[in-house]
Amino acid sequence: MKYTLALKQSGGFSQNPRFAELEGDKILANNVLLPREIDPDAAYNPYNVRMFVIGHEFGPICAVWASSEQEALDEAVDQNMLDCLMEKDQNPEDDEDLTRLGNAGELFDLTHAWIADVEWHPLRDIKLIVCLIRASENQRDTLE
């Protein structure tokens, strides 16, 4: 099943879309902490954990819960969701334009990658919210 996520706009360029459409198996339920506007009884969130969508020039790749963009990238790599951005040669002569990500510190080319926070609206996102809560309660890794 596909889900549409609204993204916070941080720039007006084409690599920063307004909406991302992802299959349920590309949306992690790794650390679901909905904002207090959605869930007034939400757990204390001192690290500001929120959902990020990661994509590239061809569209969104995945969505993960994390407290920062760096943590979101690392989590996505550790869950094998960013293999399309992995550098084929892990021992290049020049790795200046590459970034080490994940627990293994593998090299990734983020030249065309983008990352954005998900923007929540209770009425618009009710189906997604219910699926996230159910996946979290059932300790599933993704929405599928």
**Does 12 score more than 80 pLDDT?**
no
37-57 per-position pLDDT tens digit:
888 888 899 999 999 999 998
Q: Would you say how long the chain is, in residues?
A: 144
Contact 122, 129 (CB under 8 A): yes
Q: Is residue 43 part of a domain?
A: yes
Q: Tell me which residue range forms the domain holding 44.
A: 2-83+98-137
Give the pLDDT score at 43. 86
Q: Is residue 144 part of a domain?
A: no
Total domain count, the chain: 1
- pTM for this model (two decimals): 0.90
Q: Is residue 59 part of a domain?
A: yes
Contact 118, 7 (CB under 8 A): yes
Rounded mean pLDDT, 69-76: 97
Q: Is residue 90 part of a domain?
A: no
